[in-house]
Each structure stands twice: as C-alpha cells, then as structure tokens.
Amino acid sequence: MAFAKSGFALVTPASKGLGFAFAQQLLSHTDLPVLVTARRDGGELRNRLLKETSNESDKAEERLRVFEVDVTDETTIHSMATHMREEYPKASLRIAITVPGVLHVEKSPSQIDAADALHSFKVNALGPLLLMKHLAPFLPTKSSNGFADDSPPTSGERPWKLPPHAIYAMMAARVGSISDNSAGGWYSYRASKASVFQLAKTFDLYLRSRSRDRAFAVAMHPGTVQTDFTRDYWDGRHMLQPDESAARLLRHLCGMRTGDSDGRGRCWDWKGEEVLP
C-alpha cells in the first residue's frame, strides 16, 4: 500500500465543530488517509467533509474513511481498531486528534446532578482513556521505520508540514487547569477535563519508553471557539472560528519536536502558549 510509509491520520469525533475543522485541515493539507468518526450518520459526515474540503485536495474521496464510534461504548472503539488493523496492516498512526467533549453546567454545588456528572466523566475523561487504550498500538515504536515525506498537495504551499514523528493530541480545556481556576463553577466539566492534563502526561511517559523520539503525546486548549458547544456563550466576546483554531493548533503541534525541552506531555493552546495544570 502506497500510504504505508507515510502513515495515516485520525480525528475522533469529527461530526461538527473543531473535529470537523481538524478533519478538513488534514484532508486539504496532507496526502494521508484520514480516518474520522461520528456517533451516527457516518455517510452524512462523509458527504459534508467532501463537499466542504477543497476540490483540489489530492484524492480526498479515496483517502477519507468514516467509522461510527461512541466513546462511551468501548465495543465501538474496539470495532474501529479491528477494521484499522485489517485495512492498514503495515501503516502507523501519524497524527491522532481526539476531541470528545460534553458540558453540563453547574454554577453551584446544589446544581450537580449525578447522572449528568457521570456523563461528563464518561465522555471527557473515560472516552479519551479508552481511545488511548485502543489507538496506542498503532503508534510507531522506537524500532519503526521513519515516515516518508508526503508530497505537497496540488493546491500549493501548505500552512503547516507534518513532522517526521507521530503526534497524539487530546483535547483538554483551560477550565480544566487547577492553577488557572479563578472563577469556580462548572464542577463536573472542570474535573473531567483536568484529567486530560494527567492522561497526556502519563501517556507521553509511556511513549518515551515505547517510541522514544518516534512519537509523543500532548493536550490542547483550542481557545473560545464559536461552535454549537459554546452556543449559550455567544455574547459578543471575540470568538475563534473552528477552522482558525484547528489550523493554529496544527501549526504549533507540527512544529514541536520530541526533545524534553519542547513540551511533550504538556498542554498547549492555539497561540502556542502552555496551559499549566
């Protein structure tokens, strides 16, 4: 398979907002196979992505693969991993963007609902944990061959270039930072997103041993992005568009190196600034 030496990309979920923007970026600015997920209506997602991705993208229709995955249901993640292993047996995961997220707002402790809080942890914390479990085997090991350079897309100069190592990036949030918490509230969202800081660090320590400089893990903060997720907070403040946030994050992530001084295992925002735990 021609793509085996270049690897493949994965965005989960990609049905809307930032996930959709990340998938568009990867389809438009790389030649990699791009795997995406949605909880339902995978065919509809495929059609939207192909319609809204640059017509000049090299063989986008052939490179795009959609899986139906619910991160709260491990059997769907396992099924995706099984198909990935069958369809891409000799390829490594070159860039993974995991962005599951749900927000149940609690302004005071009295508003905490047990079912909603559990849902927050299932999606925001357990979801990334299960994705990590099933995707880790696809990342290159320290003995893996290096990735081949993917050729520039026909649309011309790309806004960022994939590095020679793999990137595993998971979506955190600034409100998950304990040191940055000055307003309170959003109890289950803050607590569940705080776990992503820990997951990124712990997974990166694993990759230091398994992959060395062939792969690293990081967490991301996208900024305040105008999506359905933030609809209740469209109050006139400056908000990023999903494509702007995704492009800025990819530019920073792809510019990082695997050395200890370059920030692997930490959380970085769309401006390239570290968000402390």
Q: What residue spans define the domains of the chain?
A: 2-7+83-92+99-269
Q: What pTM value is reported for the model?
A: 0.91
The predicted pLDDT at position 188 comes to: 97
What is the rounded average pLDDT for all residues in the chain?
Answer: 89
Q: How confident is the model at residue 160 (pLDDT cuts 50, 70, 90)?
A: confident
Going by DSSP bridges, is the β-strand pair 93-98/8-12 parallel, antiparallel, or unpaired?
Answer: parallel
Q: Contact, 176 vs 197, CB < 8 A?
A: yes
The predicted pLDDT at position 90 comes to: 86
| Alpha-carbon distances of 145 from 134, 235, 260, 276, rounded to whole Å | 21, 50, 22, 34
For residue 177, the Cα-to-chain-centroid distance in whole angstroms is 18
Indicate whether 259 pLDDT > 60.
yes
Please state, in angstroms and rounded to a whole number, the distance separating the CA atoms of residues 4 and 32.
9
Please state, in angstroms and rounded to a whole number, the distance separating the CA atoms of residues 256 and 74.
31
Please state, in angstroms and rounded to a whole number, the distance separating the CA atoms of residues 27 and 235.
32
Average pLDDT over every residue of 60-70? 94
Indicate whether 236 pLDDT > 70.
no
Indicate whether 41 pLDDT > 50.
yes
- Which amino acid, residue 28? S
Indicate whether 58 pLDDT > 80.
no
pLDDT in tens, 162-203: 999 999 999 999 999 999 998 999 999 999 999 999 999 999
| Angle in degrees, CA 259, 270, 236, rounded to 5 | 165
- Considering the domain 2-7+83-92+99-269 in this protein, what is its CATH number? 3.40.50.720
Please state, in angstroms and rounded to a whole number, the distance separating the CA atoms of residues 200 and 40.
27
| Alpha-carbon distances of 175 from 107, 171, 186, 199, rounded to whole Å | 14, 12, 8, 16
Q: How confident is the model at residue 156 (pLDDT cuts 50, 70, 90)?
A: low
Cβ within 8 Å of residue 251, ≥6 positions away: 159, 160
The predicted pLDDT at position 154 comes to: 45
Backbone angles phi, psi at 36, to 5 degrees: -130, 160
pLDDT in tens, 88-112: 988 999 999 999 999 999 999 999 9
